[in-house]
A and B are shown apart, each in its own frame.
Chain A
Amino acid sequence: MSAGSGRRITPKSVDQLRDVVAACDRTREAVAIEGGNTLRGMGLPPARADVTVVTTALDAVLEHEYRDLTCAVQAGITLASLAESLAARGQYVPIDAPFARKATVGGTLAAGWLGPRRHLLGRARDYVIGSHVVLADGTLAKAGGMVVKNVSGYDMSKLYVGSFGTLGTLVRVNFKTLPLPQRRRAFVAKLPEGTRSRAIAQIAELAIAPAAAFCVEGYRKAIDGEDGTDGRLFVLLEGSSTLIERATRDLRSALGKAGVPETTILDAGAREAFERVLDATVACISDRSVTYHALGSPESIAVRSIAMRDLAHRHELFTDVLADVMNGDTILRVSRRDARAFSASVEIFDDELHAIEPRATIVAGDSPVRSSLLVWGQLPSGLAKMREIKARFDPNRTLNPGRFVGGI
């Protein structure tokens, strides 16, 4: 979340962060909250940013009681550091977000990032059992606790996750953790002409659901390998050795039926290959690209992702497509060689895209044209309530003003 101008402060303690925010709130200075800055392409930049508060120095692992399957971390820790720390005890939290070495836990949660394994494992928000948040006036508000089941009052963490820092700054997050899968295996295959929708249908029917599955078109720099006529397929399997062996047989047989005879197996590099796919979801082509994320349904993914791509082609835009087979999401990057031509094309495209995909949001793009696009897609039914929530939590509009949906 880029501030552009103004002072940058990287608090070394929660108390210091509270002081900075409270002082800004008193003097009516706007505060931009920044973690790893990896998801700055979501939504719009804050309309004002007198001070940018960077959370990356608050990066400690506070607790990890592995027999309780819980941990507590400061929100500025990176996803990679969290993963590394938990892996020492064979555990993890399934947050699948791009640039894990840079992205912070707090920033990724605040952005409500939706990862590809959520169809199987749930959303990142489902693993948050407690949080500490610094509100606009510097108050520290705690929610939840260190227990895995808790219905004592409102689950305030749900409100802070996905709020883009507009209600408060996450400084501590308590997670429930999962045991790491024993094994991981990735499959990569070229999709011969006309096999794409059959492959998608076959994957949906698999008894052992893959952890993630994508049909990929383009993204050549980000993802190794060449496209077939219909692009490539990436499938991630996770589980015990027994399960992976059975799932491998099932998957090969299913893809064979779909007309995809050849697959390459990656065992050692499976995690890295998966990370490259995640990184691609927000990769930009200088200031000449914008990436849309359209949530759909597994049933309609084959048709909808093609419809989106074809629409872009009609506007003379280049496309890269990641079709998330398991969740039904489409990630579509549109670009042109010339920045000015790009801006002109994408403005018209944006309108027409939202006619067929009303909820498509923008997740990446450094182009200035972003501010004239429907970055949040269709406005939600509860927007009036959301505005009131913002007004109650941040009456002076100190925190990330304008960063969020409907100008919140």
Chain B
Amino acid sequence: MIAERLIEAVGAEAVKTAPEDLAVYAFDAYTQSETLPSAVVLPASTRDVAAIVKIAAACGEPIVARGAGTGLCGGAVPTGGGIVMSFARMNRLLELDVRNRRARVQPGLINLELSKQIASTGLFYAPDPASQKSSTLGGNIGTNAGGPHCLSYGVTVNHVVGLEVVDERGEVFTSDVDDAGYDLTGVLVGSEGTLGIVTSAWVRLLRLPESVRVWLAAFPDVESACEAVSAIVGSGILPTALEIMDSVILGAVEAAFHAGYPTDAGAVLLIESAGFTDEMNAREAEIRAIVRAQGALSWRAAATQAERDALWAGRKGAAGATGRIAPNYYTQDVCVPRTRLPEALRAVERSARAHGIAVGNVFHAGDGNLHPLMLYDKRDRRQVAGVVEAGNEILQTCIDLGGTISGEHGIGHEKRAGMNLIYSTDDLAAMARVRDVFDPKRMLNPEKIFPAGAKCGEPL
């Protein structure tokens, strides 16, 4: 059977078929698949990946590439069965070119590990999703991951300069943003494993900034914090991060992290600015004047690296900290033009209240990227239904405000139906033409991104 062929190709230690092993790979951080994969394979090299793809193709089994499984929309879940390919063994930094500021990495390398391994060179890798302690660069490339610092540094695609890819037939090809021809790199990044399997990537590295400052402004409510964000950006200042947390989240974060956040404010705005030491005092004065004019209650500057780290630890751990309030949370990942944030937040509040669901907001305000966390108990079916309905309403509201259904998490399996809400049949057909080139038989991560239905090129 397929397991035997896989073992023959890549060795017994790289193939898992025991039911308890397979069950582990039927999940990501949100979705549980009803179907177990038929095998889990852990390739150690590009050659292994190619061999596995050829065997899967011969057996008619689809392949789901998987990083750390931290995704929140079922992107790495084998909803249609098939082989799950884990990159846990392909997790090395392959080459570091300090002079030209770039590195070649394997897809299983954990995001934060890369910056740690190169810290002594004065360089860093900019995209920093909140999951960066566990999520892999391959997974980040698949979803075109963002993070709090993409306000000034950009998202993953802005930092990937070349890829080595195994295609659906098991053939290896490379892409390089400097190659002549179509920008395959730009399309492959964010394609959620549906166009090819990335086996290594060249990424761009940035110089560590000379000076980093973190400031915290407290506001009476989320709306005034949002207005402050628009005022800062509109004034011509582009900080490296502008993050908002509301009172629900602040309470949970302080209880969990003791990071020094005020618990009596309606909202806080976390501001990070990076640059040259000479400029920082003037930058602080400018931003402080703007937030004061927007009604800030207080202003605090993190005095030490430890204080900065504590504030960021609280921010990046915010979702997890809500475990103190409710046993489960569901987060949406919607993006609106940043000036529409106050309206979007009012709609979130309205929908959650109408369905009797508690909601906390922690989000990338500078990018207009909302993450409402709906807090519930999944043992209560009424609450589960309420979360789903409120989630759909929020999605629709954000679309109506000129936004989109995913800012940085991806579409995966969960949001497929939403694609019809933002794209026309013609728009989706153009995407399907690309899919037809790279994966005509829909063997790479099927049932993802494209809504079900023949009209958009996906077989029924």
Please indicate whether A and B come from the same complex rather than being unrelated chains.
Answer: yes
Interface residues of chain A, those whose CB is within 8 Å of chain B, are 65-70, 90-91, 112, 122-123, 125-126, 133, 135, 139-143, 145-156, 158-159, 161-163, 167, 178-180, 207-209, 240, 242-243, 246, 295, 297-299, 328, 359, 361, 376-386, 388-389, 392-393, 404-406, 408
The answer to whether B181 has its CB under 8 Å from any CB of chain A is: yes
A142 with B427: CB separation less than 8 A: yes
Write out the residue numbers on chain A whose beta carbons fall within 8 Å of the beta carbon of B282: 240, 242
Write out the residue numbers on chain A whose beta carbons fall within 8 Å of the beta carbon of B180: 359, 361, 376-380, 405
The answer to whether B403 has its CB under 8 Å from any CB of chain A is: yes
Bound-complex Cα distance A69 to B243 (A): 17
B369 with A149: CB separation less than 8 A: yes
Bound-complex Cα distance A246 to B280 (A): 14
Number of A-B contacts (CB under 8 A): 217
CB < 8 Å neighbour of B427 from A125, A143, A298, A376: A143
The answer to whether B8 has its CB under 8 Å from any CB of chain A is: no
CB < 8 Å neighbour of A153 from B157, B173, B423: B423
A240 with B407: CB separation less than 8 A: no
Write out the residue numbers on chain A whose beta carbons fall within 8 Å of the beta carbon of B175: 380-382
Stretch at the interface among B80-88, B187-195, B296-304, B380-388: B187-195
B157 with A155: CB separation less than 8 A: yes
A142 with B411: CB separation less than 8 A: no
User: Interface on chain A toward B: helix, strand, loop, or mixed SS?
Assistant: loop
Write out the residue numbers on chain B whose beta carbons fall within 8 Å of the beta carbon of A161: 183, 186
CB < 8 Å neighbour of B187 from A142, A154, A246: A154
Write out the residue numbers on chain B whose beta carbons fall within 8 Å of the beta carbon of A66: 234
Shortest 4 CB-CB contacts between residues of A and residues of B: A158-B186, A179-B236, A67-B234, A380-B179
Q: Could you give 17 example pairs across A and B, Cβ below 8 Å?
A: A66-B234, A125-B186, A126-B157, A135-B430, A151-B190, A151-B410, A152-B404, A152-B415, A153-B428, A154-B195, A154-B434, A159-B182, A161-B183, A161-B186, A207-B276, A381-B179, A385-B437
CB contact under 8 A between A156 and B236, given known A242-B282, A380-B181: no
B407 with A147: CB separation less than 8 A: yes
The listed residue with most A CB atoms (<10 A of its CB), out of B238, B402, B418, is B402
Bound-complex Cα distance A179 to B235 (A): 8
The answer to whether B406 has its CB under 8 Å from any CB of chain A is: yes
The answer to whether B34 has its CB under 8 Å from any CB of chain A is: no
Size of interface on B: residues with Cβ below 8 Å to A: 80
Q: Which residue of A lies closest to B340 (CB)?
A: A68
CB < 8 Å neighbour of B154 from A67, A126, A179, A243: A126
CB < 8 Å neighbour of B183 from A143, A148, A159: A159
Bound-complex Cα distance A120 to B178 (A): 16
CB < 8 Å neighbour of A155 from B99, B186, B279, B424: B186
| Min C-beta distance of A92 to chain B, whole Å | 11
| Min C-beta distance of B438 to chain A, whole Å | 7
Instruction: Render B160-198 as a binary contact track against A, CB cut-off 8 A, 1 for contact.
Output: 000000010000011111111111111101110001000
Q: Which residue of A lies closest to B192 (CB)?
A: A151
B336 with A147: CB separation less than 8 A: yes
A155 with B278: CB separation less than 8 A: no
A151 with B183: CB separation less than 8 A: no
Bound-complex Cα distance A328 to B449 (A): 38
The answer to whether B337 has its CB under 8 Å from any CB of chain A is: yes
B407 with A149: CB separation less than 8 A: yes
A243 with B276: CB separation less than 8 A: yes
Bound-complex Cα distance A68 to B183 (A): 27
B183 with A147: CB separation less than 8 A: no
Bound-complex Cα distance A162 to B180 (A): 9
| Min C-beta distance of B20 to chain A, whole Å | 33
B338 with A150: CB separation less than 8 A: no
A151 with B408: CB separation less than 8 A: yes
The answer to whether B120 has its CB under 8 Å from any CB of chain A is: no
Bound-complex Cα distance A33 to B409 (A): 37
A392 with B436: CB separation less than 8 A: yes
Instruction: Render B36-73 as a binary contact track against A, CB cut-off 8 A, 1 for contact.
Output: 00000000000000000000000000000000000000
Beyond contacts A147-B335, A151-B407, A297-B99: 20 other A-B pairs, Cβ-Cβ < 8 A, are: A69-B238, A70-B337, A126-B154, A135-B430, A142-B423, A142-B424, A147-B403, A150-B406, A151-B155, A151-B409, A152-B411, A154-B449, A155-B157, A158-B185, A167-B182, A298-B100, A376-B181, A380-B176, A385-B184, A392-B433
The listed residue with most A CB atoms (<10 A of its CB), out of B157, B238, B335, B410, is B335
| Min C-beta distance of B340 to chain A, whole Å | 8
Write out the residue numbers on chain A whose beta carbons fall within 8 Å of the beta carbon of B100: 297-299, 328
A152 with B405: CB separation less than 8 A: yes
Write out the residue numbers on chain B whose beta carbons fall within 8 Å of the beta carbon of A405: 180-181
The answer to whether B422 has its CB under 8 Å from any CB of chain A is: yes
Bound-complex Cα distance A139 to B427 (A): 9
Write out the residue numbers on chain B whose beta carbons fall within 8 Å of the beta carbon of A299: 99-100
Q: Which residue of A lies closest to B438 (CB)?
A: A385
The answer to whether B431 has its CB under 8 Å from any CB of chain A is: yes
CB < 8 Å neighbour of A125 from B183, B337, B418, B422: B183
B210 with A153: CB separation less than 8 A: no
